[in-house]
Amino acid sequence: MHNILEAHTISKKFGDFTALNQVSIEVPKGSIFGLLGPNGAGKTTLIRIINQITMPDSGHVILDGEPLKNHHVKDIGYLPEERGLYKSMKVGEQALYLAQLKGLSKAEAKERLHYWFERLEIGDWWNKKIQELSKGMAQKIQFVVTVLHEPKLLIFDEPFSGFDPINANLIKDEILRLRDNGSTIIFSTHRMESVEELCDHIALINKSNKILDGKLTEVKRQFKNNAYEVGVKTDNIAALHKELTEKFEVSPAQFKTIDDQLKLNVKLGATEKPNDFLQYLTTRGEVSHFVELLPSTNDIFIKAIQNNS
């Protein structure tokens, strides 16, 4: 797949402090790319470099096949982490002004803004002053202004911070829809909840270094550890529990059942085959549940950072 953005060996220091150390990312066209990492990892610094707000000390960025230049600013919709709107302006007035800065005519801006305001159910805010809005409300306006000119690349820096769960979901759905309509999206986050449903590609930055990246399914494959969630109906739950505990690494499993049974997470050895294990379980009782446990993005995040420090 063609990459809409490539950052090659980007390094950036602030004084003696290295904010980015030889970080490279490749963002396939049409993907939702999660730039993950703890606070202070360097995510915003990389995003600011891609948006030509900060210059890297070394390394270079390729946008849609061309070395990054000033004129590319119009190809990127950028929602900064530090959000600011002019407090005393009215919502509609401000949105129109910002939309025209992105190169839309007034009429076009008005039409698109009305469409988006209806979509996000904020139509009645048009004549309100920005200072009357809550943080989450102001953030919705900024989201609209970021996507309005339909740039080919959208970059959202911590888009969910400041939103309640309902609005966070709404923005999630809009991000998916923007992708389905042909945009490529990069977003940064230090919270993993949003990642699972959204990203198809991720890069994990920790302490200025990229420590992991790739297709989310590949990363999951890399981190899965031959673990299964099992449920077995047997007359002697305690005996089977003891037997399994002696043979495998087990922990309690939480899933709903209507009758009593042994519920366990079981980690098999690296060479043990799930089919053999399943067959063995059937000799001990009635297997009601057998599911491979895949690591969550949160598990991966924690494990990768532990391995790295």
Question: In terms of CB distance, is 7 or 133 closer to ligand ADP?
Answer: 7
Per rule CB under 5 A, is residue 206 in the interface with Mg ion? no
Query: Taking CB under 6 A as the rule, does residue 34 contact ligand ADP?
Result: no
Select from 79, 90, 83 the least CA-distant residue to 131: 90
Q: How far is the CB of 33 from ligand ADP (least distance, A)?
A: 15
Please choose which of ligand ADP, Mg ion, none residue 103 contacts, taking the beta carbon within 5 to 8 angstroms, the exact cut-off set by kind: none
Question: Do β-strands 249-252 and 262-267 pair in parallel, antiparallel, or remain unpaired?
Answer: antiparallel
Choice from 4, 27, 31, 42 touching ligand ADP (CB under 6 A): 42
Q: Which of 9, 14, 222, 242 binds ligand ADP (CB under 6 A)?
A: 14
Q: Strand order of the sheet with strand 227-233?
A: 249-252, 262-267, 227-233, 286-292
- The binder of ligand ADP chosen from 7, 25, 45, 199 (CB under 6 A): 45
Stretch that binds Mg ion, among 40-48, 68-76, 165-173, 292-300 (CB under 5 A): 40-48
Out of 4, 23, 32, 37, the residue judged to bind ligand ADP by CB under 6 A: 37
Smallest distance from the beta carbon of 183 to Mg ion, in angstroms? 21
The answer to whether 293 and 249 have CB atoms below 8 angstroms apart is no
Choices 74-82, 105-113, 260-268, 280-288 (CB under 5 A): range interacting with Mg ion: 74-82
Instruction: Tell me the two tokens of residue 242.
Output: 């003891």
Q: How far is the CB of 55 from ligand ADP (least distance, A)?
A: 12
Among 31, 44, 146, 183, binds ligand ADP (CB under 6 A): 44
Q: Does 44 bind Mg ion (CB under 5 A)?
A: yes
Q: How far is the CB of 54 from Mg ion (least distance, A)?
A: 12
Dmax (CA) of the chain: 75
Site for Mg ion in 100-159 (CB under 5 A): none
CB of 160 to Mg ion, least distance (A): 13
Q: Which two tokens stand for residue 159?
A: 């888009």
Q: How far is the CB of 50 from ligand ADP (least distance, A)?
A: 12
**Shortest separation between residue 142's beta carbon and ligand ADP, angstroms:** 17
Which residues of the chain form contacts with ligand ADP (CB under 6 A)?
Answer: 14, 17, 19, 37, 39-45
